[in-house]
Structure 1
């Protein structure tokens, strides 16, 4: 098993238990897909299918907690993790759920990701009128441009 910190082990175990709604001790492909979607990963079915096969190391059609803990650190690329983190932060600050945030909410979203706001972000958000709305695609584009995110 890949070495996990206590915090990573706790986080991944919590994710697993939250998705294993029937409490049978394993995840099927549907449960894995729901978990990834709730974490901000919107992946095509073919990629989900490949990921499931990769994580189901004994090939029995079920992902146990041990398999899950061993594979989760390898599941996503850093870029995918960043995008999922930003997507989750965007959704959290989009209080009315309309798919748009204000520049002040954008600042909150960046803070939720744990990143330090750069001078560029501060200038961008302060130069944008508070009545202007930023949609998620634009938010992710701003992040990509400011932080050389691919």
Structure 2
């Protein structure tokens, strides 16, 4: 198995590591240590691994909101979905929604989700999130 360790070291040396997509010398969209995203893509397992990491990052961020512990599982899942879609900055832009969540006014929070550019862009997703904010578990 020494050959695999050597091959890994050689590939790291030759390919270099880039954590953001770039175009390689063959003009293919690439990431990491030369992973050709256009021709190879990623496997189901890799996609699930990335998703799990992203969900964990979202949950860690969500835990910084004082209202987070009071939410039920459905509400937490809905907000993680919204945070994932919008990113940290976009999610924080929903000031009125956050105020409503602080007050425990879940119908008002749901209305804020639906009365947004986000809702017009993602349509059914926003409705699902709003529904999950107001429905008891």
TM-score (structure 2 length as normaliser): 0.30
Higher helix proportion: 2
Bigger radius of gyration among the two:
2
With CA pairs under 8 Å and 6+ residues apart, which has the higher RCO, 1 or 2?
1
